[in-house]
A and B are shown apart, each in its own frame.
Chain A
Amino acid sequence: MKAHVYVTLKRTVLDAQGQTVADALRRMQYRGVSDVRQGKYFVLTLDDGLDRAEAEAEVARIVREVLTNPVIEEASFRIEE
């Protein structure tokens, strides 16, 4: 089982890197991109011993306590069998 975790800056926080990428895309005349948010991606390989509910709970805790700084970041994750 693997957990895929995506971390980005909160919407209320200026993402200078994402904005720089968005500006570059606009300058290069790519069409249809209105915004870019840059973030981090983690893949956690989980022990087989955990059932789905336990895995969800443990990953949620890891995301909250370690992988994000809740002052500036938010995250989403999905668990893949």
Chain B
Amino acid sequence: MKFGVLVFPGSNCDHDTYHVINELTKQPVTFLWHASEDLQGCDAILVPGGFAYGDYLRTGAIAKFAPVMQSVIKFANNGGLVFGICNGFQILCESGLLPGALMRNAGLHYICKQVHLRTETTDSPFTHGIERGRVLQMPIGHMEGNYFCDADTLAKLKAEDRIAFRYATPAGEITPGANPNGSLENIAGVLSEGRNVLGMMPHPDRSSESILGSADGLLLFRSLVESLALAR
């Protein structure tokens, strides 16, 4: 299984993500430069955190027009696995691969802290190795993480079990106090209609080794590797 990590001008979690795949899941991984349309035969695409194109205009707004994204959109529409983290989530929403948008945090501040997430569905290639309801600890680091979608979209996400993670208390309760950024219904991550695209604001890439305070993020990457192995 070969993983591709996209690199835009301004990406800054590309090496973290590469490290997790290369050193922890021990899978082949390559960087994919934004200016090339060539996905180099990768089996899964990771869209890392950072500030692609300086977040100019809107977060992810310029990145979605990059040559590499035209290939990623085709890849995803053909069922390819795409995982966007933080700025990657913003890019996938702008690209239309995921519903909704990430707005400025409700408190208007950049927030960098550890949060807890409740796993809302295990029916995805990214979460099938995690028990439903399990609370994971991961850091967030963002200014625009306030998830929004219209009422019809929200109803559809719920009906189709496409909310992957919600911000929760350490005990797994979904409360306003556990919501760091004003996200609609504490939503921290959502799946595409085909369940092959996941976007989330918290950083599993920065929480895959216990020395970083939590290794919970590795559960997602392990799920992804297993899913790809099963698909072969």
Name A's B-contacting residues (CB within 8 A). 9, 12-14, 16-17, 20, 66-67, 69, 71-72
Contacts and interface: CB of A to CB of B under 8 A. Distances in A.
B57 A13 contact: no
Nearest to A38: B104
7 contacts: A9-B103, A14-B106, A16-B106, A17-B104, A66-B61, A71-B149, A72-B101
B58 A20 contact: no
B23 interface: no
Question: Chain B, interface size: which category?
Answer: 10 to 19
A26 B201 CA distance: 34
- Among A9, A12, A16, the most chain B Cβ lie within 10 Å of the Cβ of A16
Contacts of B108: 16-17, 20
Contacts of A71: 93, 99-101, 148-150
Nearest to A13: B148
Contact of B57 (A14, A16, A17, A67): A67
Contacts of A66: 57, 61, 65
Nearest to B149: A71
Contacts of B14: none
A13 to B, nearest CB: 6
Nearest to A72: B101
Interface string B91-111: 001100001110111111000
B58 A69 contact: yes
Nearest to B105: A16
Given A71-B149, A71-B150, A13 B104 contact: no
Contacts of B107: 16
Given A14-B182, A71-B149, 4 more contacts: A12-B150, A14-B106, A17-B108, A66-B61
Interface string B48-69: 0000000001100100010000
A72 B108 CA distance: 17
A17 B103 CA distance: 11
Contact of A69 (B65, B101, B105): B101
